Amino acid sequence: MKRIIFALSLFAAVPLIAQSPAATRRPSRPTVAEAERFIAGVERDLAEKSLKSSRAGWVAANFITDDTEEMSADAQRAYSVAVQQYALQASRFDRLKLPAMLGRKLMLLKLALSAPPPSNPTEATELVRLGVGLEAEYGKGRYCRAAKEAGKPEECLQINDLSRILATSRDPNELLEAWTGWHTISRQMRPRYARFVELSNKGSRELGFANTGAMWRAGYDMDPDAFSAELERIWKQVEPLYLSLHAYTRAKLVEKYGASVVPPNGMIPGHLLGNMWAQEWGNIYEIVAPAGVPRGYDVTELLKARNVDARGMVKYGESFFTSLGFAPLPETFWKRSLLVKPRDREVVCHASAWDIDSRDDIRIKACFEPNAEDFVTAHHELGHSFYQRAYKNQPFLLQNGANDGFHEAIGDAVALSINSTYLKQVGLLDNPPSAAGDTAFLLRQAMDKVAFLPFGLLIDQWRWKVFSGEVKPADYNKAWWDLRNKYQGVSAPVARTEADFDPGAKFHIPGNTPYTRYFLARVLQFQFYRAMCREAGHTGPLYTCSFYNSKAAGARLARMLESGQSVPWQETLFTMTGERQMDGNALLEYFQPLKVWLDRQNQGKPVGWSVAAGR
């Protein structure tokens, strides 16, 4: 996830391009040749600074200390200040008619940072230290509670521990304590986050954008307002499926916990959905599992039965890509990746894929455990890794996904093939379940894939309002829950105030990682999946397809990955799918049998929610 082109990697003060005294007195008109020399020098310098920043960032995420934070901040500052200065210098060529590729590089240069620093060196340093410090504070976050036995020290739980409680416990009081405990770790972030927003906006304005949110939206090869409208169009396509799933899940939770805990026509309290942020609901599948339908298989049980560990899960993911015709991962990947949480130090456990040198030093950092969720995550992260290596021969500024949603969608498109067909092919499943279990399979998939859609949309809806000033620091928490109520139909389990800063309890806020990419990825992955299934010659319902071992599908995928960000994403999408528009219809086709079933289960029950009936 952090390609480190997003994670600030172009900092240290960089001198302006040298000019002669005469040119300083009377600037000459820019030329195409000058622009070409400029961008060639920029790419050389940024590649070098990116390498240093990536290495320092890797150490800081894997060995969290004050010193590593400072070293990472220094390297990041060197990268981002360089990007900022180069981007400002690039404005000299704005009115020059340039070759398409050169113009694209200059545009991408302006969009290279998710938090562009102000040109003032003191403020640039402050911005980077705020960003590194916020991410480190999240990584060190813990909730400490009294020991269960008298005389024992207090028990301190980190996000993995608390997430495990949310996933496995069915005691509403224990769930509430875990949810509330984690949401205390971000309360002190608010003033520093507000200052981070202020400084980031200043840097964005210096580059010609209204604010940082507008800059983010400008990175999609279309007008920022048109992009916002496109997101809403896609959401309206898929919203009916989400509403059906929400109504069915709420009814099952009412049966489990009672109407006094879950309002029958209101919002679902966030601590009951099996995930700290209620973004994916698969962990409560056994509560909603359809009666009388065969149970099917449990990937967690399959992994444990064969003693598959973290490395083994990643090996399965690698084997999927090699079955499509991709070369195996380099040996350095296995030597340098972090796949299991160390016992002797704090690390940022949030899974991420790292492209250290823009060549072959690719790595994963994660705290994997042998379960179904992490099995999918391993495939997802490898999607980043194989994408990173595929476009390594592109010029530095074009080494990225066609848009950031593409980068997130690749591994997830592969993971859609993690079905009974694939599990039997790789020897994890002996006897695939009968077709009678298809409803259960689709419901289990929807509890993650469909449940995530509104959450994936609202994170940046909140952040864009913050960056634009529509939401002031005094209303951060209220605005957060207004959006979660509106899009998710999820409520806070206990009263929240502006003494809380609940957005900061989600990694991507203190980590300053744009989030719309994940919403787009949930849509694009089904478009990619359908295209590769067609290439593999699949017939039958879409959800039964696995393109594992299809060299034809792999060749189509490779063509898309190799292009990086060299052309507008619409062209890359057309190469892959024959379509030029991101669209929810492939997702709806995949889940169409489930939608029919859900609507039948919801007959006579409320669909949607009343905010007044929430908690």
Q: How confident is the model at residue 297, as a pLDDT?
A: 84
Active site residue 518: yes
Active site residue 379: no
Confidence bin at 11 (pLDDT 50/70/90): very low
Of 108, 52, 118, 111, nearest in space to 85 by CA? 118
Which pLDDT tens digit goes with each residue over 244-254? 999 999 999 99
Which pLDDT tens digit goes with each residue over 488-514? 999 999 999 999 999 999 999 999 999
The rounded Cα 282 to chain-centroid distance in angstroms is 18
Q: Mean pLDDT throughout 263-284?
A: 96
- Catalytic position from the list 246, 271, 379, 508: 508
User: In the chain, helix, strand, coil percent, each to 5?
Assistant: 60, 5, 35
Active site residue 206: no
Active site residue 350: yes
Residue where the block lists tokens 């449990």: 298
Q: How confident is the model at residue 27, as a pLDDT?
A: 61
- Catalytic position from the list 408, 476, 548, 586: 408
Contact partners, residue 497, CB within 8 Å, separation at least 6: 477
- Catalytic position from the list 351, 505, 536, 586: 351
Give dist(CA 354, CA 397) in Å, integer: 16
Give dist(CA 611, CA 615) in Å, integer: 8
Which pLDDT tens digit goes with each residue over 340-353? 999 888 888 889 99
How high is the mean pLDDT of the chain? 91
Per-residue tokens: 18: 């040298």
Asked if 408 and 517 count as a contact pair (C-beta separation under 8 A), the reply is yes
- Catalytic position from the list 183, 246, 271, 380: 380
Tell me the DSSP string of 524-582. Answer: HHHHHHHHHHHHTT--S-GGG---TT-HHHHHHHHHHHHTTTSS-HHHHHHHHHS-SS-
Counting residues of the chain whose pLDDT is more than 70, the rounded percentage is 95
Q: How confident is the model at residue 17, as a pLDDT?
A: 35
* pLDDT over 70 (residue 531): yes
* Interior angle at CA 554, CA 432 and CA 401, nearest 5: 115
Which pLDDT tens digit goes with each residue over 351-400? 999 999 998 999 999 999 999 889 999 999 999 999 999 999 999 999 99
Side-chain-facing half-sphere of 413: CA atoms under 13 Å? 30
Helices (H), 26-99: 32-62, 66-90
- Catalytic position from the list 350, 379, 407, 538: 350
Active site residue 380: yes
Q: How confident is the model at residue 9, as a pLDDT?
A: 31
Per-residue tokens: 486: 């509106």
Q: How confident is the model at residue 436, as a pLDDT?
A: 76
Active site residue 149: no
Give dist(CA 55, CA 397) in Å, integer: 19
Residue where the block lists tokens 């060529």: 93
* pLDDT over 80 (residue 411): yes
- Catalytic position from the list 518, 529, 548, 590: 518
Give dist(CA 470, CA 459) in Å, integer: 15
Active site residue 230: no
Which pLDDT tens digit goes with each residue over 538-562? 999 999 999 999 999 999 999 999 9
Q: How confident is the model at residue 292, as a pLDDT?
A: 80
Which pLDDT tens digit goes with each residue over 28-73? 789 999 999 999 999 999 999 999 999 999 999 999 898 998 999 8
Q: How confident is the model at residue 291, as a pLDDT?
A: 85
Per-residue tokens: 4: 């480190």
